[in-house]
């Protein structure tokens, strides 16, 4: 009989994010679990992956409970940049070399994720500001430009109608000549991440999911042929447990926590741009990211704000950073990329944990019968995590997506995980130097 325990921090985290300030959808404000309950499946985590899993399990006829430690969208799902990006780090051939035929299905899942999300938004009529003009991938150096051009040729071979951009073409779509070129991937887009999360929560509840907020899972224990998940004021007996906590796993599963690197992604948002500047910056509404080792990602919102995110430090603390230097580096960078904005005021600053895996791939683990873990979306979670949840729900309901798969792998802990903070900060400084040198 195995017991997995957790000590849960008494944290009342209220990120000062643009998304929380601008959402048009109220939180469901669900009650905490009290007493005993039973379900076919229990999902731990109320983010994109967990809510998508729960929604699709309920639609398949399974009685499903979601346990969220704070409120839905508290973690990365409610704080990210809202970019809907396709694909994963490795090519199809590289994934097939690692996983055989399953690697091809893995690649297909990641590449198809924006289409899946678009169809889900249409099917459920989610109001989350979704638009899909494409994503700009920008090259900051000659070497990076060659890499982008190679990537474009690979996508063209797959039938994706990408557009390769020279410096003039990139400047026209960006409103800045800060980059040497790039490409447009037509599959990409953007949305309001917290609104998507709350729309997923509402759809799940309508489908019959019981959603309990302020209900951290304190322990998971196998009792006979069922699992028991305990919270501060209740417990649930279930056949299947899905851990969808990503970078916020904490000590719920210490081994799982030691298999990933939770790092903060910092974001800043300007005041609304002047109309003239807004018409020249990202005029077609593309979301963008660049080729640096410390990737920058940015977009313009409906109310003419510029939002930029990146790794200002590699802190892995889950609390909101209040260190001005963590944000001022991003503010200076945004002003360097877009001189048009001048000395505009920055009105919002926030951060949240991104879950990085050593191989930069999403991971699926099934370490014991009835226990499933999906995490590690490496900054591409808006679309990929939502589709991963639907894939897992289909698998558990016995109606697998034949053409898609996330191969099951054992949990592999990272050696000297406790030293991650100084190691990652050293790696960040090295990466920043290489970016400056254009290498």
Q: 10-residue block means of pLDDT along the chain (439 residues)?
A: 39 68 94 98 98 98 98 93 90 94 96 97 98 96 93 92 97 96 97 98 98 97 95 98 94 93 90 96 96 85 95 54 69 93 94 90 97 94 97 92 93 73 55 55
Task: Measure the CA–CA gap between 339 and 403, rounded to whole angstroms.
Answer: 46
pLDDT at 151: 92
pLDDT of residue 213: 98
Helix (H) or strand (E) holding 354: strand 346-356
User: In which element (H, E) is residue 290 found?
Assistant: strand 287-290
Tell me, what's the pLDDT at 86? 86
Q: Quote the pLDDT of residue 7.
A: 36
Question: Of the CATH numbers 3.50.50.60, 3.40.630.10, 3.90.380.10, 3.40.309.10, which one belongs to the domain with range 3-81+194-259+359-423?
Answer: 3.50.50.60
Largest separation between any pair of C-alpha atoms in the chain: 66
Nearest-angstrom CA–CA distance, 340 and 336: 9
Q: What string of DSSP letters covers 5-24?
A: E------------HHHHH-S
Distance in angstroms (rounded) separating the CA atoms of residues 264 and 269 = 16
Tokens of 293: 């080792």
Residue whose structure tokens are 């991937």: 185
pTM, two decimal places: 0.91
Q: Residue 60, Cα to own-chain centre: how many angstroms?
A: 25
pLDDT at 418: 54
b/e map of 34-64 (b: 16 or more CB within 10 Å)?
eeebebbbbbbbbbbbbbbbbbbbbbbebbb
């Amino acid at each position: 009989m195995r017991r997995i325990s957790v000590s849960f921090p008494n944290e009342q985290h209220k990120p000062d994010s643009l998304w929380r300030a601008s959402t048009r959808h109220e939180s469901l404000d669900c009650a905490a679990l009290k007493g005993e309950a039973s379900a076919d499946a229990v999902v731990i985590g109320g983010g994109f992956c967990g809510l998508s899993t729960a929604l699709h399990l309920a639609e398949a006829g399974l009685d499903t409970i979601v346990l969220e430690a704070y409120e839905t969208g508290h973690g990365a799902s409610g704080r990210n940049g809202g970019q809907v990006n396709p694909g994963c780090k490795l090519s199809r051939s590289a994934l097939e070399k690692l996983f055989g035929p399953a690697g091809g299905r893995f690649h297909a899942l990641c590449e198809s994720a924006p289409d899946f999300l678009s169809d889900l938004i249409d099917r459920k009529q989610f109001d989350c500001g979704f638009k899909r003009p494409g994503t700009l991938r920008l090259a900051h150096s000659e070497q990076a430009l060659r890499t982008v051009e190679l990537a474009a040729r690979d996508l063209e071979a797959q039938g994706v109608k990408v557009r390769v951009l020279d410096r003039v073409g990139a400047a026209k779509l960006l409103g800045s000549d800060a980059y040497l070129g790039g490409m447009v991937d037509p599959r990409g887009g953007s949305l309001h991440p917290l609104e998507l999360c709350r729309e997923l929560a509402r759809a799940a509840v309508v489908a019959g999911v019981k959603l309990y907020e302020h209900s951290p899972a304190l322990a998971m224990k196998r009792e006979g042929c069922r699992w028991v998940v305990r919270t501060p004021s209740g417990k649930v007996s279930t056949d299947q447990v899905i851990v969808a906590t990503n970078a916020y796993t904490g000590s719920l599963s210490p081994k799982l926590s030691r298999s990933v690197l939770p790092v903060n992604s910092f974001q800043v948002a300007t005041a609304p741009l002047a109309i003239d500047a807004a018409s020249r910056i990202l005029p077609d509404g593309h979301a963008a990211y660049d080729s640096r080792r410390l990737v920058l990602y940015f977009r313009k919102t409906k109310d003419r704000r510029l939002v930029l995110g990146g790794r200002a430090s590699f802190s892995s603390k889950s609390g909101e950073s209040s260190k001005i230097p963590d944000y001022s580096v991003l503010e200076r960078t945004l002003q360097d990329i877009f001189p048009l904005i001048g000395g505009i005021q920055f009105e919002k600053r926030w951060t949240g944990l991104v879950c990085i895996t050593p191989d930069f791939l999403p991971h699926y683990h099934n370490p014991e019968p009835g226990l499933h873990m999906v995490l590690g979306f490496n900054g591409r979670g808006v679309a990929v995590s939502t589709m991963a949840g639907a894939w897992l729900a289909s698998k558990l309901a016995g109606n697998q997506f034949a053409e898609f798969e996330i191969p099951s792998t054992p949990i592999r802990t990272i050696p000297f995980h406790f030293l991650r903070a100084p190691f990652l900060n050293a790696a960040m400084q090295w990466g920043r130097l290489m970016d400056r040198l254009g290498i």
